[in-house]
């Protein structure tokens, strides 16, 4: 095992572009052999320096996958294969869910039904409460639930143990665990979260479950935990077979000649970095007030708005909602609103509201799909390993190759 590297940044989970790029620069030297050797070690809160902690920025597209991978590939080439493939897991999950929005809607529907059951089944409600309070008596689980609440982050390996214990030892519905994570994670991401929970439960790769093991937990955490009473069998939860994947949702692409209002959402906070949008006649940029959204969302949106306004040299505006967005677009003479493609997940409600309000105002809502997604998502149809085979070609298509920085 290589020598542990020093903690790589003062800010634990950067969400502004400047902070995230600083983290990329500091982490890139560790993304090769170091990462491969140490990435699965859970060293505890404040000591997760074997992993990049870039997920909060990547989930909001404060930095892109290419921003992260360019320096990593330039420094390590093929020695960074593991890190590169981890980054592609995010892309894969996003593309997979995009072709199966019914999995997201099915999860939302299941939550309604389970919430109703929680009101009637005292034993289930008590088990659930002890899990979300971290009072189960299972040392590692209770610790990780506390770490999640206190820091908004868990190491990937810890997430797998928590999800497995939640489902197989505590016998709780995976859907409730996915909600708990989504509410607390600083990197909350509809696709990575929902599909990782399904993966642990044995629903993503049908029948292939992930069972937490006490001695492995002891070893991987440097002896910090010695859990007892963990399930020794993993029973896949009942779930209906999924319908086939759908064609990717059609979007209206921006018209390069139309006066434009740029709308920054949590799903893409660095639209100004997209060369395809540089020539747009932009009149203003806006965010919809995120209400009581977490601090990380507010920071990322404010940062994205300021950068976009500086890039296009236009006013930065805050609006209260979809109707106000449409009013602003009309007022500044825009004929279209351009936003980053909103993937399947919580952002779609705002998208639908904005589309309706803009249509009523005689305006069109267009979505910019990044080339990264356009190229990769069609390969996210089956398991990850089929997608992984395409990574060299996808990197080449993005102008990224070992030892080269993109043009
Ligand atoms: C039950 C469960 C729930 C999860 N929920 C989320 C979530 O809501 N949001 C989220 O961003 N990730 C989620 N993940 C995936 C993964 O745990 C995090 O992306 C990762 O821990 C983030 O830390 P990092 O940036 O330091 O990762 P690093 O190890 O430095 O990886 C670099 C990047 O690769 C991607 N990545 C790494 N591992 C995975 C993975 N297993 N799946 C998908 N992408 C990955 C992320 O973009 C990450 O930032 C979940 C995993 C599990 C098991």
The 10s digit of each residue's pLDDT in 163-186 is 999 999 999 999 999 999 999 999
Ligand 1 pocket, Cβ-based, cut-off 6 angstroms: 39, 51-55, 58-59, 86-87, 89-90, 93, 156, 159-160, 163, 181, 185, 187-189, 192-193, 196-197, 200
Separation between Cα atoms, residue 344 and residue 249, nearest integer Å:
10
Listed residue (155, 141, 152) closest to 183, CA to CA: 152
Q: Give the pLDDT confidence score for residue 10 in this predicted structure.
A: 41
Mutating to test ligand 1, I would choose from 24, 35, 196 the residue with most ligand atoms within 8 A of its C-beta, which is 196
Mutating to test ligand 1, I would choose from 51, 187, 383 the residue with most ligand atoms within 8 A of its C-beta, which is 187
Mutating to test ligand 1, I would choose from 192, 193, 209 the residue with most ligand atoms within 8 A of its C-beta, which is 192
Nearest atom, ligand 1, residue 154 CA: 21
Q: Whose Cα sits closest to atom 38 in ligand 1?
A: 86
Q: Whose Cα sits closest to atom 33 in ligand 1?
A: 87
Is the pLDDT reported for residue 46 higher than 90?
A: no
Q: Whose Cα sits closest to atom 49 in ligand 1?
A: 55
Structure tokens at 232: 């020794």
The structural domains of the chain, ordered by start, are: 6-98+375-397 (1.25.40), 101-220 (1.10.579.10), 260-368 (3.40.50.620)
pLDDT band at 206 (very low <50, low <70, confident <90, very high): confident
For the residues 60-81, what does the mean pLDDT come to? 97
pLDDT tens string 300-331: 999 999 999 999 999 999 999 999 999 999 99
Is the pLDDT reported for residue 6 higher than 60?
A: no
Residue 390 C-alpha to ligand 1 middle, in angstroms?
Answer: 20
Is the pLDDT reported for residue 404 higher than 80?
A: no
The overall average pLDDT reported for the chain is: 94
Is the pLDDT reported for residue 3 higher than 60?
A: no
Q: Whose Cα sits closest to atom 22 in ligand 1?
A: 55
Residue 231 C-alpha to ligand 1 middle, in angstroms?
Answer: 25
pLDDT band at 43 (very low <50, low <70, confident <90, very high): confident
Mutating to test ligand 1, I would choose from 90, 172, 212 the residue with most ligand atoms within 8 A of its C-beta, which is 90
Residue 157 C-alpha to ligand 1 middle, in angstroms?
Answer: 9
Q: Give the pLDDT confidence score for residue 402 in this predicted structure.
A: 61
Separation between Cα atoms, residue 283 and residue 329, nearest integer Å:
9
Residue 162 C-alpha to ligand 1 middle, in angstroms?
Answer: 14
For the residues 255-283, what does the mean pLDDT come to? 97
Q: Whose Cα sits closest to atom 50 in ligand 1?
A: 193
């Amino acid at each position: 095992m290589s020598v542990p590297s020093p903690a790589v940044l003062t800010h634990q989970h950067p969400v502004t572009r400047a902070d995230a790029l600083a983290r990329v620069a500091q982490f890139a030297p560790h993304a090769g052999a170091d990462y491969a050797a140490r990435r699965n070690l859970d060293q505890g809160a404040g000591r997760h320096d074997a992993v990049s902690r870039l997920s909060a920025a990547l989930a909001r597209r404060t930095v892109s996958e290419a921003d992260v991978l360019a320096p990593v590939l330039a420094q390590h080439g093929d020695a960074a294969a593991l890190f590169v493939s981890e980054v592609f897991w995010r892309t894969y999950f996003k593309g997979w869910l995009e072709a199966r929005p019914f999995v997201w809607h099915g999860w939302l529907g299941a939550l309604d039904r389970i919430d109703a059951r929680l009101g009637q089944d005292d034993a289930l409600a008590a088990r659930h409460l002890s899990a979300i309070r971290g009072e189960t008596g299972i040392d590692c689980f209770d610790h990780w639930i506390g770490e999640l609440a206190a820091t908004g982050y868990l190491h990937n390996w810890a997430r797998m143990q928590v999800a497995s214990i939640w489902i197989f030892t505590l016998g709780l519905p995976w859907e409730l665990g996915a909600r708990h994570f989504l509410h607390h994670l600083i990197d909350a991401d509809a696709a990575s979260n929902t599909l990782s929970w399904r993966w642990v439960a044995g629903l993503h790769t049908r029948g292939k479950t992930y069972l937490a093991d006490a001695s492995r937990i002891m070893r991987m955490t440097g002896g910090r935990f010695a859990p007892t009473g963990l399930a020794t069998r993993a029973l896949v939860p009942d779930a209906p077979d999924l319908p086939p994947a759908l064609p990717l949702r059609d979007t209206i692409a921006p018209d390069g000649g139309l006066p434009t209002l740029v709308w920054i959402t949590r799903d893409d906070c660095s639209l100004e970095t997209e060369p395809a949008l540089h020539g747009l006649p932009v009149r203003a940029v806006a965010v919809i007030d995120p209400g009581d959204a977490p601090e990380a969302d507010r920071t990322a949106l404010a940062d994205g708005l300021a950068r976009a306004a500086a890039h296009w040299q236009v006013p930065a505006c805050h609006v209260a909602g979809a109707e106000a967005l449409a009013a602003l677009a009309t007022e500044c003479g825009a004929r279209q609103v351009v936003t980053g493609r909103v993937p399947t997940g919580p952002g779609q409600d705002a998208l639908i509201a904005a589309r309706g309000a803009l249509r009523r105002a005689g305006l069109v809502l267009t979505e910019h799909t990044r080339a990264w997604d356009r190229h990769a998502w069609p390969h996210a149809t089956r398991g990850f390993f089929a997608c992984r085979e395409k990574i060299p070609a996808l990197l080449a298509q993005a102008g990224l190759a070992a030892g080269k920085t993109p043009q």
